[in-house]
Structure 1
């Protein structure tokens, strides 16, 4: 089968691999239709996140069941399914408390990083990580369910209310998804984005979108009756200092972007005096089922996918979402917010 494989630091290659087979009575074999390109995949290519050499990358996969183990009951051959990539050992201290993303053995269970992922023609995994796709849902919408789960979980943990004002820093795929959900659940949604293409795209979602170069704190506060905001989401990974300037008393800051080189100084007394919380539970979602149900009321969700590319043309798909050539590093214009690879 064709598969996109991590072969060396900052290097992936399309390769022929042996087709996976069911190894236990509780496993399911899926013919992959396609997978969304996540910021995590981009960070693997950029060298910011570790992956095992020889591992098939990708984790936002959907497809059709082609074989099931004899003890599988919840899905059948022919069913369309989503693969839940939040997998864990199930027996450590944190798994016993249903905190699977804190699994003490999590490194051994990361789909697309330490175990084979879904940028391939076939995937084999446990039944408990398979969710049936509703008949009326498109493949494209289904590929957004996993990131939707992350975003939905985060806003629920932040206890968003209909009266809340929200700033989303960054308007890439996750930022745009945050803006879409904020529009559904909150009162006012403001976005930021330096790239012209993405900023124009986000302007069709958020109430207001700013170029950070042209933005002042005062200009954003003016949109909220000169009050600071209830929720600030950093979807870039290096904007927590901006979030601290924009957050109001009793507010919640959500770091969602990934950048382990970024640091920011804080004064604990500011958090104590102003009642500000930082919500650091974005990855602990385990709510694919809830996200599936919620997605059925959001017909505009599919519109977040801006490019659909065949697996063999993966370089095109990565280049158009990164803003530079994945092999040469040469700058390129952004031409997609959310790209998917189809087999």
Structure 2
């Protein structure tokens, strides 16, 4: 079949355009396809990994909801007209393997459903950490991933403290249910009793300082990507804390678990995403104020506002029905 595709494309450094093409799509037997309803920007990844890159074009996006219009011959349990979540780019038409999609719960706003993707970033830590409720968890960096991560742990019975130097981010986290927020990790009320510190900022100072508030045998998990060096601190500071406080510092890379469960690994990326959709539908995790809705035609303005921190919300959601 032939489709008219519109896709947000980074054509040069700091330049986002909505590019139109005509594509020939051959739907595989295990695939499904349809027009996009909404897609969510993952600001840290898309800005640092693509918008500010050195080579182009780049086609960003990995949090999408679309309406099923075409179904492969071997696909079962998917219906035409159904809303599905997938990890598609910011484009008007999605084609994906059916197994790499999930049904949006009935009644859940498809725009809200896209946030499941960012919830999934810290859900890998949730299912792999040695910390157990009601242990104290500190989340440093309260952008969208950190905010949702703090909510993930709060809804599961952990005592969560959010940390960010930005007043507006702390205020938003408080409105969304995070009981304690501080500007600096050293100010956390239970410093020294922290079982798990999750860094979502990618700032090495947050890890160096955060490691000092973790209890003996605690964990520091690095979720935020270290896109650039931001301090002149020495590794000796961290080495000293690790050695004498017996803490574990590890990567929080979400893809350490399999995409789908297998015989010996039951926790999975898609299992976590299904749970995230459920929590969103139940109101256990809230997204009010996290994303500014706009049209894909305004992509350049959206990315510029995020880059220069002029956006009224921490991220942006594209409404493809507005085209």
Q: Give TM-score, length-normalised by structure 1.
A: 0.77
Matched, 1:31 2:35: yes
Matching residue of 1:318? 303
Distance 1:264 1:142, change over 3 A: farther
The structural deviation recorded for 1:209 is 1.8
Tell me if structure 1 keeps the 8 A contact 2:195–2:214.
Answer: yes
User: CA RMSD, aligned part only?
Assistant: 2.5
Give the alignment partner of residue 41 of structure 1, picking from 43, 46, 61.
46
Report which stretch shifted further, 16-25 or 32-41.
16-25
Give the alignment partner of residue 146 of structure 2, picking from 152, 175, 182.
175
Unmatched segments (≥5 aa) in structure 2: 258-268
Distance 1:320 1:199, change over 3 A: farther
Q: Give TM-score, length-normalised by structure 2.
A: 0.81
Q: For residues 253-294 of structure 1, what are the alpha-carbon distances to aligned partners after superposition, in whole Å with 9 as ceiling and x for unaligned?
A: 111111243386156575355332224243225132233334
**SS state of the match for residue 16, structure 1?**
strand
Distance 1:74 1:32, change over 3 A: same
Give the alignment partner of residue 164 of structure 1, picking from 121, 130, 135.
135
The structural deviation recorded for 1:45 is 4.0
Tell me if structure 1 keeps the 8 A contact 2:50–2:58.
Answer: no
Matching residue of 2:218? 251
Tell me if structure 2 keeps the 8 A contact 1:317–1:340.
Answer: no
Matched, 1:342 2:312: no
Task: Provide the rounded CA distance (Å) in 1 between the counterparts of 2:156 and 2:182.
Answer: 21
Matching residue of 2:283? 298
Give the alignment partner of residue 8 of structure 2, picking from 4, 20, 26.
4
**SS state of the match for residue 41, structure 1?**
helix
Matching residue of 2:68? 65
Tell me if structure 1 keeps the 8 A contact 2:63–2:115.
Answer: yes
Q: What are the residue-to-residue correspondences of 1:123-134 with 2, within 5 Å?
A: 123-134=94-105
Provide the aligned length of Structure 1 versus Structure 2.
Answer: 294
Matching residue of 1:231? 196
Distance 1:150 1:192, change over 3 A: same
Q: What are the residue-to-residue correspondences of 1:147-226 with 2, within 5 Å?
A: 147-204=118-175, 205-212=177-184, 217=186, 219-220=187-188, 223-224=189-190
**SS state of the match for residue 194, structure 1?**
coil
Task: Provide the rounded CA distance (Å) in 1 between the counterparts of 2:245 and 2:293.
Answer: 45
Tell me if structure 2 keeps the 8 A contact 1:56–1:119.
Answer: yes
